[in-house]
Chain A
Amino acid sequence: MENSVNTLIREETQPTSASVGDGKDHVVLRNLYKSFGDVVAVNDLNLTIDRGSFTCLLGPSGCGKTTTLRMISGFVEPSSGELLISGRSQRGVPPHRRNTSIVFQEYALFPHMTVRQNVGYGLKVHKTPKEEMNRRVDRILEFIGLTAMAERFPTSLSGGQQQRVALARSLVMEPEVLLMDEPLSNLDAKLRVRVRTELKDIQRRLGITTIYVTHDQEEALAMSDKIAVMNDGVLQQYGTPWELYFTPENRFVADFIGANAFVTVSIQQLTDAGVKLSIGAQSIELPRKAVAMDVEQQGAEAVLSLRPESIRIQAADTATAADELRALRGSVRMHQFLGAYIRYWVDVEGQEVIVDDHNPRARGILEGDVALQLGETETQLFPPE
């Protein structure tokens, strides 16, 4: 198996690298803009996607993910801006001339063709010699584990199998760039986790540049090398899952990825080292690097974003004086015991903070007044709404 995969990988990557060179930037979007009548679907999008990487376009429904993907595949013509694949402008290049291949959300398998005919369709269109076609189809079917299903019709396959046939149909074309539009959304939750692991594995073994659309943050975090978070057609942040999670650049990203509490604060004092904030009657100090905004004004309002797992909770009377600098005081309003952790809803000066205690046995269930110690780096300050 490992051998056949290796030959597959070699054959996959050789033609592309030979013909287009080894530039690291594979797909480049420059000020890409698309409007449908009054609706701006994609607004001035700039992205540079590395060769061989797995990139997610992530965002809520209607944010322009599909439109972006369709512009890359060529089904939608951008209103303005430029798209480069391997350094070549794609303006006016029709979909079938682009070295991209798309896997649709609803698979779009041809119901009147068998699995084999579906997978071989693109090769047949390109007039690949019969023996070569059979060889490549067989290899990809084996690779994807569907050899036994080759003569069946798509309607007789399960959702996950149909998904893999659709993927095979794209992969057999040995595209430079693989595009996928929410390919897992028709599968049930359990299967989704399994197939996404398989998908990622296939992508990693083939080393194929992949752009993947999803609105599921967990899927994006689990699969991506990089994630582009979009909202209302505008790119919010582009970075590794790590960066997005721990250093979101704005409130939207912080809110969209992971659970978060937002607390309104006012800025009291700014030094090179840190920033002093007040929340109602309390005040705390944060290191300067936690501040995502250009904080110039003293007394300005700001929003503090707090990750539930980055806050340490303890009973108010056990807090030491040394902790006090970065601690907030509040009282527990509610809790839920979830096995691995306890989730607390804590009232701090009339605002709600969510805190997860991942070591419940150490402290037991807390009630009444508590002290919340904020982590140093996982805390972000954003401009007010």
Chain B
Amino acid sequence: MSALFEKLTQSKKNQIILFIAYVFLTGAGLFLLPDSTIAFLLLLFSILILYYLNFNLRAKWVTGIVILAAIVPFIASHSDSYQTYMEVGTLVGIYCAMALGLNIVVGFAGLLDLGFIAFFAVGAYSYAIFASGQASKFMPFGHYPLPGGTFWIFIIVGACVAAIFGILLGIPVLRVRGDYLAIVTLGFGEIIRILLNNMDHPINITNGSMGIASITPPNFFGISIGSSSQFYYIAFGIFLVVIYVVRKLENSKLGRSWKAVRDNEIAAQAMGIPLVKTKLAAFAIGASFSGMMGVVFAAKQMFVDATSFTYLESTMVLVMVILGGMGSVPGVILGAAVVIILRTQVLTNISNWLSSMSTDYGISIPPALSPEKMQLLIFGLLLIIFALYRTQGLIPHKNRKVDVELLKKESEKAALAREKATSGGTES
């Protein structure tokens, strides 16, 4: 059986046919079955399959984008749970970008950060304050709320503000290492949350524990964006930008500097890498991804308060990175998707199923024990299991390999050119 399967998947043509068949089947399932969460998840799973197929890279990207930007939304739009699916998709996009940001700090630069959600909060509040009446309570000039068209600018603003907070966190944190680093960042996350929760006096900036309500929805050339299916595209777009940035940086001078600092600080310095600058760049760039998505989150929810940015959320993002594979970009994306889907789909479905069981059969399960409420326990167990049996995560990080044959050729060519130059020099 497995031999047959191997034979089938060996040739590229067969791979393409099987892949299309898979997408078609799961798509049809989603289309035909009412409320078919499983078909929806299986359709999303096609992206992971795509990752493992051996097409060329560009074809994979195009296929993936077509599936996520056209096929999934189109089929899902025929379902009653359209908005629910797109809500999940939006959340996955938001958390993927955040996890990729944290991955720069933890996976590339090797700096543990337990307060990462703070940057998300900072981004969310920067839009919330100015896109609601809140800003008029302390700003001496300007008319608030700002119109929905400013949302697009605020994505950049959110990134910048978060980056500045990243640097603010970075400066004191650079003096400490290891366990201390974890504690300081944890403290930072909590400080931001508590500040946001209490900055309603003496000047009312964040409206304290009441939160900020009636945030203006984004406006795209006159269209007001309010539904999850629309936010899905915004989140997806930013996610693509983030992925581009991460992929480019990973194999650049800066990316190598991060990894060098992670692997050996003393040697990195001896090779001329400035520690402080390099680490701050990791904090700032990682934080900026979170900040952007914070703006999206605030606009989507139309309401923010500090309860969305608890320590649990920081842990969740860290779980995504560790579960997926520290330093591994595809791994971290998978990790984020798995955690979000577990949280929003699987656990709630199991909870619903259990409660229907208990009404049908009279078995009573106390609500405190429902899987939804046991998230911390479940994710804690997951972390322990991964720490024990698969420390490298779901998709372990692999260094990019260079084409040695090509290098060899280039090197010979360069040597020849040098020779010519010197012999030419002596002749003349």
Real binding pair:
no
List chain A positions with a Cβ less than 8 A from chain B: none
